[in-house]
Every structure is written in C-alpha cells, then in structure tokens.
Amino acid sequence: MTFSLPLPTNKEIIILQIMIKKEIRSHQWKAFLRNPMFERNLAVNVFMFVSFGILAGYLIIFGFFLDKILLKAGEYEIAIDTFNSLLLFVLAFDFIIKFFFKSNQSMQIAPYMSLPIKRNTLFNFLLQKEFSNFWNFYLLFIVIPFSFKAITPYFGFIPAVLFIFFIYILCVINSLIVCCANNLLKKSVLYYIPVFAFVALPFIFPIVLKIDLGQYTQQAGEMFLNYNLLVYGGLIALFAAFWIINRIQMRSELYRELQGEKAEKISSFSRLSFLDQFGETGELILLEIKMIFRSKRLKQQVLFSGCLFFSFYIMMLYMSGDHSLRKNDFVFMLYGMITAGFMGIIMGQYIFTSESSFFDGMMTRNLSMFNLLKGKYFLYCFFALLVSFLLLVPVFHGKLSILLLLANLLYATGPVFFMIFQNAVYNKTYFDLFDRGMMNWKGQSSNMIVISMITMFLPVILVLMISSFFGKQTGYLFMILTGIVFTLTSQMWLRWTYRRFLKRRYGNMEGFRAN
C-alpha cells in the first residue's frame, strides 16, 4: 500500500510564500543589526532620513505652487495638460537621478538555493522591494499636492488619486528600467549607447525630427483621467514586461555566479585590442577607463557632469535668439569650452590623486609616469573629439558655427588642458575612489578649487577681450591657433609637467599618506 501526501491548496501556498518572505526580511534585518559597522550605518541612515525629510518638505511646497507655474509657462488652459505634455522630460530626469544614485536591490541568494524555495520567489522578493524604495516616492511629494489642486476641480477626486497612483507606477517602471540598464552595463560598456538614447529621446525628437512628443503624452494623460482602458492596459503590460525582463536577468546572473564565471570574461574593458598599438601608453589608457567605470565616485562625476554640461549647452543653442543666456558671450563660450573638454576638466584635478591609494606601489615598479600622463591626455582628447562630433548636429541645423566648434575643441585640448595638467602637480590630498559620488568634497583642497576655477575662467576672459577689440572671428582664430600650438607641442609640456612632478613627488606622496 502506498501513501501520498495531499497537494497544498492555493491558500496554503500563499501563506507559505508570505512566511518565507517574512523570514527573509528578518534575515536581512539581522544582517544589518549584526554588521560590525552597525553604529556607523545607523548614524548615516538617521542623517539621510533627516536630509530626505527636509527635501520632502521643499518638494511639497513646490507642488502646491506648481499648477500656477505651469499655467503661466505652458500653452494649455489647465495645468494638468501642461504637466502631462512634460511627462517624458520628468521621467528622463527621474531616470538620470536613479541611474546615478540608486543601487540595484541585492541579497545573497546562493545560501537559499539548498532550501525548497522557488527561485522566482526570491527574485520576486527582490523586485517587490522596489515598491518601498525611496527613489520611487520623491516625485510623489510634488505630484500629490499638485494633483489635488490641478485635477480635482476638473475631473474629480477619484481621478486625482488614480493619477497619483499612475505616476507612482511609472516611477517603479523607471526603476525597473534602471535595474535592466545596470545589469546590461555589467556585461558591456556598449550598452551606454541605448541608455543615452533612452534619456535623450524626449530632446532629440522635437529638435531633430520635429516631432512633438508632448502632445501625445498630454493626450495619453487625458485618456487616463477619463478612464480609457487602453491606457490602463498599456501601463499594466509595460510594468509586466520589465518585471519579467528583470527576473530573466536575475536568473542569468545567478547562473553565472554559481558557475564561477570571472568578471573579466563579461567585461568589455578586459581587452581593447586597438590600444595594443600604443604599447605601455595603451595599457595605461585601458587602466584609466577601468578605474573610471569601477569607481562609483569617478563614474558619477564624469557621466553626470558630462550629461549636464552637454544638455545645457544644447538647450542654449536651441533657445530663441532673444534669450539672455543665448546672447551672453561669456556664459555661451564658457559652457562651449567646458562641454568640449569636460572629461579633462573634471578628471584633470585627479591626475595624480586618483592613484593616491596605491601610489607608493606604482613608484616602486618599473612604470613610466610620463606614459601615464600621455595616456590620460590622449583619453581626454578623445572624449573632446567625440563630443565635438556629437555637436555637428546643431552645426547642420545652423545653430552653431563650425568655426566656434573647432575653436572650442582645439582650445580645450591645448591651453585648457595645459593649465589643468600644470595645476594637478600641486594637488597632494588623498582621494578615496570608492567613496560616495556626488556632493563629496573629500580629496579636494580649497587651493585646488580656486585654481580650477581660474583655469576655466581665465582662457575665456582672454578670448573675450580679444573678441571685444578685434571681433568674434579674430577671437575664434586666436583660439584655433593657440590650440594648434599647444596641442602639437603637448609632448614637450607633458614632459615638463613630468619633471616638475618628479621634484615634488616625495612631498605629494607624503600628503597622500597623511590623509
């Protein structure tokens, strides 16, 4: 006689899953309490909650006045239509914020693999944590007061509540997209191209293709407020699609970890064959790229600042001709120069300090510091050239002079980079590569901040003085000629910089250790 256990009912399965998730939450809470750095983590969390509370208060106040701002600035008769027309820009901003500041939900799944727990249960547990993530709530501090003021008088109370829920679900979907992007970027840096395209979509379509996406999002928002089931169905389908994609990515990542696959095999930066022709300099360029993308602090500063400068410069180019910023030569030329050379301007102050954690080891090995300087200079020039190629689009639209574009490129790779490399010799503060990214001033001295500001403003002031006396064309030609001279003689002044550093190296190394 054989005996068989009865199959669990659906109710029992649901209760079991709830119990499993409750137990996993208790494990994570115990891991937080038993962490050797518990006191420090607790103090940081309390400080962050207080900071976020102050930020939430400002956002709520802004939300109360947002409807009046949109009525004055927008072309629609009611504020909610203007808000819906700007929804893609809001989501693009939300994506950028999450991409730089939000980390993927993680936990050690491998220890649970020996237990009778479905893997999808573990994956769903991680994804469900997105519903309680702060980064999916900060926009609601603006949307909640705005919705009740802008929607209730025209559509009623229930549509206002549904619209708040609609924005919340869009924020969660945006967060899932960020998780997908982060998982893809672990495999290849080439995935930065679709990520950049996704963010730039609301800006490219109106400018390049002359397609106003705002009217479509305005219509979609109005359909949502009028209970159109097509919009509700599309929202559910979009949410389900990215939920499933994240689960698939988690499963593939888990298999890779269980198989012990090395990270080098999936990193596109493990080998860039075209750099081999540069010898040791090419190896140092590759190491510099790896350092930027592996250091959260450097990666955030380079990518966030680069996107900010590039976007603002494009915005100034496409502004109406009577706008004050568009007519301000100083601001316009300053941002043009920074946009072309932002990589060198941001990273230039860390030429030596970015290596401060292991500088003693570098100096005891057979490594040419001159080749290190050359590698960094070539990398900064390559990014300046890449940005200049992207700026050919406004040149074709007649918004930017090709002469000014060439002048900004050569002036950045010449005099500006020359001054930056000279100033970097004096920076001897310790720089933690793996500290937090934005709004972090550790490793930066007040002297270096002042010198960096002079480095950015002095070349522009010089060109403006020449332009005011002899005309803009003469100013552009001056930038091109001086840029060509400094760029062609870069090997000479890089070697001079190297010799100056050798005279100061022991003092700088002592400064790296003292901090």
> Do 512 and 356 touch, CB atoms closer than 8 A?
yes
pLDDT: is 494 or 268 the higher one? Answer: 494
| pLDDT, averaged across the chain | 75
| pLDDT for 467 beyond 50 | yes
pLDDT the model gives residue 268: 43
Average pLDDT estimate for 126-141: 83
pLDDT: is 271 or 297 the higher one? Answer: 297
The whole-angstrom separation of Cα 281 and Cα 297 is: 24
- Both ends of the chain: CA-CA distance in Å? 77
Dump pLDDT digits (tens) for 157-199.
999 999 999 999 999 999 898 888 888 877 776 777 777 777 7
pLDDT range class, residue 435, cuts 50, 70, 90: low
| pLDDT for 264 beyond 50 | no
Residue labelled with tokens 């219509």: 219
The whole-angstrom separation of Cα 381 and Cα 486 is: 12
Structure tokens at 202: 């609301």
- Residue 131: strand, helix, or coil: helix
Structure tokens at 95: 């994506």
> Do 431 and 354 touch, CB atoms closer than 8 A?
yes
Residue labelled with tokens 């940081």: 44
Main-chain phi, psi angles of 30, to 5 degrees: -65, -35
Question: Is the pTM for the entire model greater than 0.75?
Answer: no
Structure tokens at 504: 């100061």
The whole-angstrom separation of Cα 61 and Cα 77 is: 23
pLDDT range class, residue 7, cuts 50, 70, 90: low
Q: What share of the chain is helix, strand, coil (3-state, %, to 5)?
A: 80, 0, 20
pLDDT the model gives residue 461: 79
pLDDT the model gives residue 421: 84
| pLDDT for 287 beyond 70 | yes
Dump pLDDT digits (tens) for 291-330.
777 777 777 777 777 777 777 777 777 766 555 555 666 6
Residue 106 burial by Cβ neighbours in a 10 Å radius (0-12, 13-18, 19+): exposed
Dump pLDDT digits (tens) for 378-430.
888 888 888 888 888 788 777 788 888 888 888 888 888 888 888 777 776 76
**Max mean pLDDT range (27-41, 92-106, 469-483):** 469-483
Residue 381 burial by Cβ neighbours in a 10 Å radius (0-12, 13-18, 19+): buried
Alpha-carbon separation of residue 37 from 31, 104, 173, 436, 463 (angstroms): 11, 21, 33, 16, 53
Type of residue at 230:
L
Residue 254 burial by Cβ neighbours in a 10 Å radius (0-12, 13-18, 19+): middle
pLDDT the model gives residue 470: 81
Average pLDDT estimate for 215-237: 89
| pLDDT for 8 beyond 60 | no
Residue labelled with tokens 């920076």: 427
